[in-house]
Amino acid sequence: MEQARKRSSEIKIGVLAERKYKRALKFSEKINAYSFHSYIKNVKPKHIEKAKALGLKNYVFTVNKDQQFEKLKIWKVDGVFTDFPNVIDHSHESWNQS
């Protein structure tokens, strides 16, 4: 990722984090990442808030249950990764009403 950033400041880089969020966020800031991708089983609101404070888009993986999706809407993440897009209400209108 560092090499990609050195090649171009225009490349949109996303940093994935399953744990060690503080370290991953610091790295995201270092490389001027575009987005931060958190693991659904470990993410907390503070991780989303810190990423937002750094100006990062927030995406969470892998969200496969409606209750997870609803929680993330409240936290106002920018999007999710899911294995079952047909099961989760992921319409743009629904997402932005929270």
Give the closest residue to 54 by CA, choosing from 24, 18, 98. 24
Q: How high is the mean pLDDT of the chain?
A: 90
Comparing 39-43, 51-55, 90-94, the range with the smallest average pLDDT is: 90-94
The confidence score (pLDDT) of residue 85 equals 84
Predicted TM-score of the model (pTM): 0.86
- Report which secondary-structure segment, H or E, holds 45: helix 45-53
Q: Which two tokens stand for residue 60?
A: 């969470």
The confidence score (pLDDT) of residue 98 equals 46
Dihedral-angle region of residue 15 (phi above 0 means left; psi in -120 to 50 means alpha; beta otherwise): beta
Q: Over 60: is that where the pLDDT of 67 sits?
A: yes
Comparing 28-32, 52-56, 59-63, 69-73, the range with the smallest average pLDDT is: 69-73
